[in-house]
Amino acid sequence: MSGRQLNRLRQQLAQQEPEPATDPPSSEEEEEEDSGPSNPFALLQDSDESEAEREASSQEEASDDDAAMTSAVGAPPTKLAPALPPPKQPSKRQQAREEEDIDKVLAELGIDQSTTPAHNSTSAPSPDGSQAPTRPTAAPAKPLLAVNMRVLKASDELKRMFGAAAVREDAEDAGAAYAGASRRIRRLAARGLLRTQKLKPGVLIDPGEHWPPFDGGFTMEARGPTASQTFSYVYSAGYQAVQELYKRCQASHDPNAVAALLHTAPYHLDALLTMYDLNRAMGENAAADEMLHRCLYALEMAWHPSFSPATGNSHVDYSEGNLPLFLALSQYAQCLSRRGLHRSALEVSKLLLGLNSEDPTGARFSIDYYALRAGQHRLVLGLAAQGGAGGSMALFPNFAFSSALARRALGAGGEADDALLRAVATFPTAVTALVARAEGRGGRTPAWAQTLGRPFFAQAASDSATLDHLVEVFVERQHLLWKPPAVLEWLHGQCERAATSDAPLPDGLSRGDWAAAREAAYPPCAVSAYRGVLRAADFSDAVARLPPEEVHGLGLGAGNGGLEDLDLADVEAELAGAARAGGGGPAPIPGEELAEGGTLRALLRSFLPWLNAGEQPDYEGAEEEERE
């Protein structure tokens, strides 16, 4: 019942039973009136309609008359007035919507609810000295690195961009769906005669219809308390045997040996990553995506039940056993960005940063780019203010310039100008490299030549190889954001302001102060701290192509590697032995287990003694027989 209806009923009751103004009813009398028997049908009436109100009032008058008559003959005491129904409580959904609106307003005003007294205390003193209840303590804010699972999968973002029909047609492409399969498999799939087994869908990857079932070989274990568990992958003895064989195949520099290994061990992580790199370099994008997706699917199927990427609190050590997870996620984020799926790439980068705060793969040097391309500008500002394990992210060249772009996109023109001015004053060498990369769109104009020729930029130099390395990564990753003429003109204005004006910066610090902060963060060094970890080419949307004729020229497939050439038959024989150990495929079922399974199974075993139960069929042999 609304407040208007409640006031209307109170007025009606006041007219029916007027009371002197000099003697207001006490609280005890009010409780007695409310505790009287009420008309149960009065609560069911809709007071918004006039007819219902008249019926309710007439029923109340009739009940009062009946009460007077029955009291005269000694009947039980009657009610004085129907009890008012309690005010209608808002639903939980309405309360959540109102709280969300309040949170948005507070966020726009820049008020942190976690620091207000109402959120930090559970009670406040009243005027009489007692403790009066106040607003309960608010729940902790959602971490910045918490993954939005609804936009993590690439197929979901594709559906939002192009519709479900387009995604379905792309999934039905036979060439892409069965890339890497044998000719017999592709021929059966084209005829619609291939039986497929529905695999369990993953959070990151939807498995292909022709993928074999995940055969295990490794699992994930958890260590430590529940609130701060550390997860790591554990590999079986059979998988370790396959790993040793993979090292031999890798040392032979023969991709055919690695392909033969994947034929028997379809979910070997290192082999999948190797074939992904090779197929991508040769321009086989469909086959490359197949390898990377299968690797991620296998890693996800082995996740611990307590492993929750959505919270951003699942820690994974950067060790040799966990290395495939970090490499696959890093490659996957870059692959999504090349396809234009920047929101999914952003969520994958958040997952990668949440796994290990030390950021062994350099996700912090690209997450701001994905956030800007996805329209998540406030996330850039939040990450820059939050900092990281290596110090404040605002001292990285990419975040210094990305924060200015984020403020400009949010409409904070003055703050954006000041942020860009600080970035230019702190990293003048980054401006020189960025403008040089923008050649053809203002990079060679006389205005830029005059600005970059001023002493502030001409004499700018860095003695830190680490800073030079990060500037190179920043320019390679984000130069596309600064190529639009309007953005480049804005950058030129702030560069001219930094080079010609001697006035202090808006924050009261001078250019020398920011230069001192840069030197403190990046001391002189001859070798970059990120050497061997970050490559500028890994942050580029352009992929270096390796022509097929050069593959043979480099010795791939020729067995050049200082070792004896591996015989593919020997490789397959060793893989079969590893599969029986439980590492490369489903292990064969022992005869004792078959005997225990029942009489019918034992009878079939006696009819087919040469058949090894649990072993995958030999499609290649069937294909040879079909040719004959």
Statement: residue 392 has pLDDT above 50: yes
> Residue 581: pLDDT band by 50, 70, 90 thresholds?
low
Statement: residue 22 has pLDDT above 90: no
Statement: residue 250 has pLDDT above 80: yes
191-243 tens-digit pLDDT? 666 555 678 888 899 888 888 888 889 999 998 776 678 999 999 999 999 99
Residue 180 lies in a domain: yes
Tell me the HSE value of 628 on the side-chain side, using a 13 A CA sphere: 6
Same domain, yes or no: 65 and 170? no
Task: Say how far residue 304 (Cα) sits from the centre of its chain.
Answer: 18
Same domain, yes or no: 48 and 156? no
Q: Which of 347, 362, 377 is the last residue of a domain?
A: 362
Instruction: Give me the mean pLDDT over the 277-304 stretch.
Output: 91
162-176, 333-347, 435-449: the lowest-pLDDT one? 162-176
136-140, 165-169, 376-380: the lowest-pLDDT one? 136-140
CA distance linking residue 3 with residue 17, whole number of Å: 21
pLDDT value at residue 178: 57
Pairing of strands 131-133, 218-223: unpaired
> Residue 549: pLDDT band by 50, 70, 90 thresholds?
low
Same domain, yes or no: 160 and 251? yes
Cβ-contact 26, 65 below 8 angstroms: no
Residue 257 lies in a domain: yes
Tokens of 410: 């949010």
pLDDT value at residue 142: 59
Q: Which of 338, 362, 386 is the last residue of a domain?
A: 362
CA distance linking residue 278 with residue 255, whole number of Å: 8
pLDDT value at residue 105: 38
Same domain, yes or no: 20 and 151? no
Instruction: Give me the mean pLDDT over the 388-399 stretch.
Output: 77
pLDDT value at residue 109: 36
Q: Which residues contact 529 (CB under 8 A, 6 or more apart)?
A: 466
Same domain, yes or no: 219 and 353? yes
CA distance linking residue 287 with residue 177, whole number of Å: 9
pLDDT value at residue 297: 95
Same domain, yes or no: 183 and 324? yes
pLDDT value at residue 224: 79
| DSSP-assigned letter for residue 152 | T
Tokens of 570: 């020997």
Tokens of 91: 């639903």
Same domain, yes or no: 227 and 321? yes
> Residue 438: pLDDT band by 50, 70, 90 thresholds?
confident
105-119, 158-172, 358-372, 555-569: the lowest-pLDDT one? 105-119
Helix (H) or strand (E) run with residue 133 in it: strand 131-133
Residue 55 lies in a domain: yes
> Residue 573: pLDDT band by 50, 70, 90 thresholds?
low
Cβ-contact 275, 258 below 8 angstroms: yes
pLDDT value at residue 619: 45
Instruction: Give me the mean pLDDT over the 464-482 stretch.
Output: 93
Same domain, yes or no: 196 and 305? yes
Its domain, for residue 34, covers 3-72
Residue 299 lies in a domain: yes
Residue 455 lies in a domain: no
Q: Which of 25, 41, 72 is the last residue of a domain?
A: 72
Mean pLDDT of the chain: 72
What single string gives the DSSP state of each residue in 566-587? PPHHHHHHHHHHHHHTTSSSPP
pLDDT value at residue 264: 87
> Residue 489: pLDDT band by 50, 70, 90 thresholds?
very high
Same domain, yes or no: 318 and 180? yes
Residue 186 lies in a domain: yes
Residue 175 lies in a domain: yes
Where is pLDDT greater, at 109 or 17? 17
Give the chain's domain count. 3
Statement: residue 48 has pLDDT above 60: no
Helix (H) or strand (E) run with residue 198 in it: none
pLDDT value at residue 30: 42
Residue 476 lies in a domain: no
What's the one-letter identity of residue 459?
Answer: Q
100-127 tens-digit pLDDT? 544 543 444 343 444 333 333 333 333 3
Same domain, yes or no: 39 and 188? no
